[in-house]
Amino acid sequence: MKSLLVRFFLFSLVIAACSIAVTAWLASQATTGAIRQEQGDALRGDAEIYDRLLGIAARHRTWAEAKSEVDGLAREYGRRLALTDRGGKTLLDTGTAGSPPLPITPKVSIDALNVDSVLKPGATSKIDPRAVGPFRLTDEEFAKMRTVADRLLNCTQGKFEIVESPNRRLRVSTMPPGTESAWPECPSGEELYTVTHTESVAYEDLYNLFNGCMARLPGLYAVKPLNGRPVPLDWEVLTVRYSDPPVVECMESARREQLRPFVAEYAHLFITEPTGGQPQAIDLSTTGTNRIILVALGILALAGFASWVTATQLVRPIRALTAATKRTAEGDRTARVDGGAGEIGELAKSFNAMSEKLAETERQRQAMVSDVAHELRTPLGNITGWLEATQDGLAEPDPHLIDMLLEESLLLQRLVDDLHDLAQADAGTLRLHPEPIALDDVVDQVVNAQQNREILLRSETTPVHLSADPVRLRQALGNLVANAVRYTPPGGEVVVKLFQWQDRAILEVVDTGTGIAPEDVPHVFDRFWRADKSRSRRTGGSGLGLAITRHLVEAHGGAVSVTSRLGEGSTFRISLPLA
């Protein structure tokens, strides 16, 4: 897994996947939360409306009687409430005349004697406890009970609470029967535990109905009359809990029969928005999740494609560069890369520059080796030839022969010295030993050393002082003067001038010699370059003189140049900084 392409691709894929996953998770969390809350609110609202309507049904004989209460409820919850009978006839509608028709299916049915155990979980009976019918105490009975309860409360200094049952009976909530003797100085409060006349009549009726039902059962159950017994503490105990199902059923049906005329009729309930539309329940099915997954996969594919394309584009020039580097390492100097723009483009450009430089150096090295071989061949060939002739007895080893051999070996010596100087200059190890010198002295020394009978060699100097290596400067100027003398025919003139111009010392070697053709001028400072290729070393030099001069002058921070006219003469000029 070293490939930059694959790593880049996988990396961006992982990042894309992570960010998509996190975003999707957050979004779905937030949405689910919001939906749950919304739905919870709606359900709670509906359940409350249902419960309140049951209470209203329990307390009214007809829905028409309950109209104002239902209107209030509809206003309170901002809903339109409509009740119809089984046949669909409207019993009550809080909507206005312009309200749209009701939905086809009702929300739920309302019957105080048959409570929906889903909407009201935990109820012990299907009969709403608020349906009290004939059990409701008369005002007189209630007032009497109230007085007894208040007296008891005052006397016992509120040690317990008085609770009102749905039929207005008051009972002691925290004190079981019999414990009233704990306060002997207080009234017994016995009235709170005795059935009133109203209740007694209602119980009588109820038990008649109940017994009637029981009688229809196959003679298993005996029922005791309730007369004179204390009323049950809890109104709901009327449900006859823990009995056999047929007994429970008999009691329920007896109660229903007794209460039926006192409660509002069975009705279908429609709950809608005030405008008529049905409150929209939100669908929490898996389609949402599936869509999120699909979209996420789509984005992932897109991100993958994009990063693959980017990575490929990024890697292509790098691969081209690698291939080119390999070819270069194997010796191919023609390898070039097209890197385009950007950082990699820059890299490609530097590679191309490096490759070109390498090719140039290689070319120079090869030319140098072949030139050196060529230059060495002639004097060595001469020496070998003379020595073989002597060995074969064809030539005498006389002083003349020795002179000739010596001259050839001196030529070789000079060539090797020149090569050494150049190699040092190339390697940057050419050492200068600068010291304060009078440049006119250097000129005089060179001119004196090169005096020649056939040519007029003279100098025109002004005193110039600077810091330089006198030996190397003599060598540089000596090469120019030697060339001038060599390429000037007898009777000609060579003048060496020295003067100061601005902050530079100028040395000029002016001759009246053969001159240099304009097309040759740019080459005179090249190594082993000669205008006359066929010229022998005896008339010409090694072809390295001007190259060495240029190196020496440049090592002093100066420059060398030439102006020449073919057939009229040349002027070589060295300019050196004074500082």
Contacts of 151 (CB under 8 A, 6+ apart): 187, 189
Number of residues that bind ligand ADP (CB under 6 A): 23
DSSP string, 165-233: -TTS-EEESSS-TTGGGGSTTS---GGGGS--HHHHHHHHHHHHHHHHHHHHS-S-------TTPPPPS
129/545 with CB nearer ligand ADP: 545
For ligand ADP, the binding residue among 127, 545, 552, 556 (CB under 6 A) is 545
For ligand ADP, the binding residue among 110, 251, 516, 560 (CB under 6 A) is 516
Per-residue H/E/C for 239-305: HCCCCCHHHHHHHHHHHHHHHHHHCCCCEEEEEECCCCCCCCCCCCCCHHHHHHHHHHHHHHHHHHH
Minimum CB distance to ligand ADP, residue 541 (Å) = 2
198/542 with CB nearer ligand ADP: 542
Span from 303-311, 338-346, 448-456, 534-542 in contact with ligand ADP (CB under 6 A): 534-542
Span from 336-344, 383-391, 403-411, 542-550 in contact with ligand ADP (CB under 6 A): 542-550
For ligand ADP, the binding residue among 148, 299, 529, 575 (CB under 6 A) is 529
151/565 with CB nearer ligand ADP: 565
* Residue 511 binding ligand ADP, by CB under 6 A: yes
For ligand ADP, the binding residue among 129, 478, 513, 558 (CB under 6 A) is 513
Helices 342-391/399-427 angle, 10° precision: 170
Q: Residue of minimal CB distance from ligand ADP?
A: 541
DSSP string, 372-408: HHHHHHHHHHHHHHHHHHHHTTSS---HHHHHHHHHH
* Residue 421 binding ligand ADP, by CB under 6 A: no
Minimum CB distance to ligand ADP, residue 488 (Å) = 7
Span from 144-152, 202-210, 500-508, 530-538 in contact with ligand ADP (CB under 6 A): 530-538
* Residue 524 binding ligand ADP, by CB under 6 A: yes
Distance of CA 86 to the CA centre of its chain: 64
Phi and psi at 319, nearest 5°, equal -65, -40
Helix (H) or strand (E) run with residue 161 in it:
none
Range list of H helices, 60-138: 67-77
Span from 67-75, 199-207, 281-289, 526-534 in contact with ligand ADP (CB under 6 A): 526-534
Torsion of CA 521, 524, 529, 530, to 10 degrees: 70
Q: How far is residue 102's CA from residue 124's CA, in Å, rounded to a whole number?
A: 33
Q: How crowded is residue 134: how many other Cβ atoms within 10 Å of its Cβ?
A: 16
For ligand ADP, the binding residue among 55, 419, 487, 550 (CB under 6 A) is 487
Span from 128-136, 158-166, 446-454, 483-491 in contact with ligand ADP (CB under 6 A): 483-491
**Residue given tokens 């046949």 in the structure block:** 87
Distance of CA 505 to the CA centre of its chain: 65
355/483 with CB nearer ligand ADP: 483
Minimum CB distance to ligand ADP, residue 528 (Å) = 8
Question: Across the strands, what pairs with 230?
Answer: none
Helix (H) or strand (E) run with residue 61 in it:
none
* Residue 546 binding ligand ADP, by CB under 6 A: yes
For ligand ADP, the binding residue among 73, 464, 484, 498 (CB under 6 A) is 484
Minimum CB distance to ligand ADP, residue 518 (Å) = 13
Question: Across the strands, what pairs with 535?
Answer: none
For ligand ADP, the binding residue among 531, 559, 563, 573 (CB under 6 A) is 531
333/530 with CB nearer ligand ADP: 530
* Sign, CA torsion 151/152/156/159: negative
Residues 205-234 that bind ligand ADP (CB under 6 A): none
* Residue 541 binding ligand ADP, by CB under 6 A: yes
31/475 with CB nearer ligand ADP: 475
2/533 with CB nearer ligand ADP: 533
Both tokens of 49, joined, read: 């409306």
What is the per-residue binding string for ligand ADP in 437-476, x denoting contact by CB under 6 A?
A: ----------------------------------------
**318-354: burial string, b at 16+ Cβ within 10 Å, e else:** bebbeebeeebeeeeeebebebeeeebeeebeebbee
* Residue 328 binding ligand ADP, by CB under 6 A: no
* Residue 542 binding ligand ADP, by CB under 6 A: yes
Q: How far is residue 39's CA from residue 282's CA, in Å, rounded to a whole number?
A: 7
- Please, are residues 29 and 21 in contact by the beta-carbon 8 Å criterion? no
SS3 530: coil
Half-sphere exposure of 285 (CA within 13 A, CB side): 4
Both tokens of 26, joined, read: 């957050």
Span from 181-189, 348-356, 384-392, 482-490 in contact with ligand ADP (CB under 6 A): 482-490
Minimum CB distance to ligand ADP, residue 473 (Å) = 17
* Residue 530 binding ligand ADP, by CB under 6 A: yes
382/483 with CB nearer ligand ADP: 483
Residues at the interface with ligand ADP (CB under 6 A): 479, 483-484, 487, 511, 513-516, 524, 529-532, 540-547, 570
